[in-house]
Amino acid sequence: MRCAVIVFPGSNCDVDCFYVLRDVLGQNTDYVFHKEKFSPNDFDLIVLPGGFSYGDYLRAGAIARFSNAMESVIRASEKGKLVLGICNGFQILLEAGLLEGAMMKNKDLKFHCHDVYLKVENNSTPFTKLYRENEIIRMPIAHGYGNYYASPETIEKLVTRKQIVFTYCDEEGNLTEKANPNGSVRNIAGICNENRNVLGLMPHPERCAEEILKNTDGKKLFESILEYTKGGLFGGNA
């Protein structure tokens, strides 16, 4: 699998995503600087990492979407290539219109860094195939702007088209208010596009993909992608 990690000015989880893809999974991985363009066929997976692109001074992700690299990301997504946006990367995908909805400041106005429980709402995406449906997993979050919002009509559409991929839940899998760290509507933690090839999520799978970090629940997300691109899961590359 050929992977790209996009580096925006202010990205800071770029090295973490790179490490998981190259060193943990052993995949061919490149950094792509935001000023560069690339062709849709250059990569099978493009990761938009977490961080504070352009300092998030305007609105999280609002400026990054105008970069050269994002033009190429949009083109690649249209060709069915896999695009994974984590945390700030999710925010950029929303700003770029690759995913629907918007991000607001966390309900309590504070930055949150801790583990959360997630429910895998949809395991028939290239990113989640190795999880069981409704599996409860643990992943860390680290964000100040993770309060997902979309209009009731959009939410309705996301539900019917099964685009909600991860939700915040308690240890038993209940979508409670207490288990929702940021006030996201319907406890939404991650969504995909209609074609299932673009996923955005606030939690950080790259931070829980190794034994030494005492949690490997995020590794399956990357392994799912790998299986998918090998053609093992859906019987062929998209």
Q: Which residues are catalytic?
A: 87, 204, 206
* Beta carbon of residue 207, minimum distance to another protein (angstroms, whole number): 5
26 conformational bin, left if phi > 0, alpha if psi -120 to 50, beta if neither: left
| Residue 228 neighbours by CB under 8 Å, 6+ apart | 82, 126, 127, 129, 234
Query: Which residue, among 94, 96, 91, has the nearest Cα to 69 in the 3D structure?
Result: 96
33: how many CB neighbours lie within 10 A of its CB? 12
Q: Which is nearer to another protein, 196 or 207 (CB)?
A: 207
Decide whether 63 or 76 has the Cβ nearer to another protein: 63
Minimal distance, residue 14 CB to another protein, in Å? 9
Tally of CA atoms within 13 A in the half-sphere of 133 that contains its CB: 4
Comparison of 45 and 60: residue with beta carbon closer to another protein? 60
Nearer to another protein, 35 or 79 (CB): 35
CB of 63 to another protein, least distance (A): 11
What is the rounded CA–CA span in Å between residue 146 and residue 226? Answer: 27
CB of 49 to another protein, least distance (A): 10
SS3 137: strand
Query: Which residue ranges make up the site for another protein (CB under 8 A)?
Result: 9-10, 12-13, 15-16, 19-20, 23, 33, 50-52, 54-57, 110-114, 140, 142, 144, 204, 206-207, 210, 212-214
